[in-house]
Amino acid sequence: MHDGNRQPQDVRTTANRRLALKLAAVTLAMFGFGYALSPMYDVMCKALGINGKTGRTDAQTVAAQPVDLTRTVTVEFTGLATSGLPWEFKPLVRKLELHPGETREVKYLVRNLAKEEITGQAIPSVTPGETAPHFKKIECFCFTRQTLKPGETREMPVRFVVDAGLDKDVQTITLSYSFFNIDKVSAEKYGGTSLAQAGEHDAHHDHAHPAPGG
């Protein structure tokens, strides 16, 4: 009976947390089984109802593709250091406009606020979900784990292109990252959960509370 009294902000917070946990579960599986099982990754994204993975490409391939100068798309950037990871994490540019097919680069700032070395893994998400296949990264800090020394600050680049095949009705895309501590002991020390624990928690929750009609 209390669910009907929940405020919109509470609902959004819960939804965002669930999305982050689902992203963690998929990324954990990706690193566990390797990129060779990319089709499995796609299936898991679809089954969990998240936005799926963005594509990867290279500068040579992008250079050979057309740029659509007849329209512009706004790309917004967000970042979150999850509980258990004592880092400051944010985009240095909140949004920009580009032509589909045009290569652009932005940077994210990360700072380790702890007095010990910590390793984290960034989990990407793109909305609307149907734009994910058209959002292709050339370079990204999310391709590898990031280890920061105590107090270390780092600027991390993301080079990307939104290909010209993007639906003409799409005017805005949001690229989001959630950064997780990969070490269980370290994450618990700072009052949160590691990437692996987040994935396990979400899998257990979905099993214990199946979706209506599922």
Token digits of residue 14 = 């819960």
In a domain, 180, yes or no: yes
- Which residues sit opposite 95 in a β-bridge? 76
Higher pLDDT, 18 or 134: 134
Cβ-based neighbour number of residue 8 at 10 Å: 7
In a domain, 211, yes or no: no
Predicted pLDDT at 203: 46
Predicted pLDDT at 22: 56
- With cut-offs at 50, 70 and 90, classify the pLDDT of residue 44: very low
Distance CA 47, CA 25 (A): 12
Number of domains in the chain: 1
The CATH number linked to 100 is: 2.60.370.10
In a domain, 209, yes or no: no
In a domain, 207, yes or no: no
Determine the average pLDDT of the residues in 153-171. Answer: 96
In a domain, 212, yes or no: no
> Percentage of the chain with pLDDT > 70?
66
Determine the average pLDDT of the residues in 196-203. Answer: 64
Q: Is the pLDDT of residue 121 over 70?
A: yes
Provide the residue range defining the domain that includes 109.
Answer: 2-201
Predicted pLDDT at 41: 41
pTM of the model: 0.70
Distance CA 118, CA 148 (A): 6
